[in-house]
Amino acid sequence: MAAIGEKRAISATEDAKKSKTKQEFRNYEDSVFQERVEQTYFNIQTKQTYARAKQVLDAYRKLDKAVMSVEEMMQFLDTIVDESDPDNDLPQSIHAYQTAESVLTRYFENRDPSKLKKTVAIEQFFGVEEWAELPEHAKRLYAGKTLDTLYPHIKDWAWFPLVGLIHDLGKVCGEQDFGGMPQWSMVGDTLVMGCALDSANIYAGKGWYKAHNPDAQVPEYQTPLGIYTANCGFDQVIMSYGHDEYLATVLDQHEKEKTGVKALPKEAIYQIRFHSFYPWHSPKNGARGYTQLASEEDWRNLPLLKALQKADLYSKSPNMPPIEELQKLYGGLIRDHFSPLVRW
């Protein structure tokens, strides 16, 4: 990991990022990476099918790719290029530390993972228009609450910056030794399979799904509910397979097997599993997507997804502590929450 210190010298892209406004992130219209981004999303919306997603999900549940530590797996990050990202061409390891640091500085006192700020209002995660469009039950749930009061059962929040650090670690599924997944089945926004493509998805209006995806010919998949029941919950649907689901599968199994280290709460794994589910947590094209499938648990966890999303998306800053300090802090958090060896 020492190479990250050298990579901090990459400044041209970083300087450009510093001057970006929030509106300029997730630019899917005319970014410098526009051609590759559109091609990746075209492939996502035409090649991700219910049958394939289910098949890949079942295959990766075997966790037979490797037995390695989290630190060893992080070494693979800089071999990965995310062709769906219109904002970031930095090494993935730098982005991992940036996101973790963004979580720490936004939500904790003095970068201390044992001291969650008591003033992180849930309403701050929603824009004015977005808040106005929330269903009344969600407004009642969130109004006047902070992170610590909406989730009072969570007493130790040190896992949150750790989630920021590892949230994209599942992208190793693009490596040949870990399945060699193509970009369209590894990165990009995730969507629900087995029902109609929601208009909240990026590029949904281009008609790619209807014209080219085999699922568009399956009548059962053409309604908002599709093969599901109303408010069944996202944990009961098949998502387009990507790095989120892979890492969530790893964490689910690790929680069942590990001993002698701190548990990750179910909320941490939820953040990992759905952090790329932008049509739900941070829609760009208007109304929130897939609400007909969301359960009360999904609404309860929505602010956690938005908290991570803000730290992830707006973290492109070169102003990080020295690499030795970062390695000491986050290495300690990894050892606190993970066994020395993890099945992948």
Residues 250-274 as b/e (b if ≥16 CB within 10 A, e otherwise) read bbbebeeebeeeeebbebbbbbbbb
Task: Write the pLDDT tens digit of every residue in 113-125.
Answer: 999 999 999 999 9
pLDDT of residue 106: 95
SS3 of residue 126 by DSSP: coil
Least confident of 72-81, 82-91, 236-245: 82-91
SS3 of residue 67 by DSSP: strand
pLDDT(20) > 90? no
Q: Rounded to whole angstroms, how far apart are CA atoms 297 and 281?
A: 13
pLDDT(317) > 80? no
Task: Write the pLDDT tens digit of every residue in 139-153.
Answer: 999 999 999 999 999
pLDDT(216) > 90? yes
**Per-residue pLDDT band at 91 (split at 50, 70, 90):** confident
pLDDT(252) > 80? yes
Residue 212: count other Cβ atoms within 10 Å of its Cβ.
13
What residue type is assigned to position 182 of the chain?
A: P
Host domain of residue 102: 3-343
pLDDT of residue 315: 58
Mean pLDDT for the chain overall: 88
pLDDT(21) > 70? no
pLDDT(283) > 60? yes
- pTM for the full model? 0.89
**Per-residue pLDDT band at 313 (split at 50, 70, 90):** confident
Single out the residue of 188, 174, 170 nearest to residue 45, CA to CA.
188
Which residue has 């973290």 as its token pair?
Answer: 315
pLDDT(230) > 90? yes
Task: Write the pLDDT tens digit of every residue in 323-336.
Answer: 889 999 999 999 99
pLDDT(87) > 80? no
What secondary structure does DSSP assign to 71-125, as a single string? HHHHTTGGG---TT-SS--S-HHHHHHHHHHHHHHHHBGGG-TT-B-TT-BGGGG
Q: How many domains does the chain have?
A: 1
pLDDT of residue 231: 98
Q: What whole-number percentage of the chain has pLDDT above 70?
A: 86
pLDDT of residue 15: 36
pLDDT of residue 30: 53
Single out the residue of 333, 338, 267 nearest to residue 302, CA to CA.
267
pLDDT(318) > 80? no
For residues 37 and 84, the answer to whether their CB atoms sit within 8 Å is yes
pLDDT(276) > 70? yes
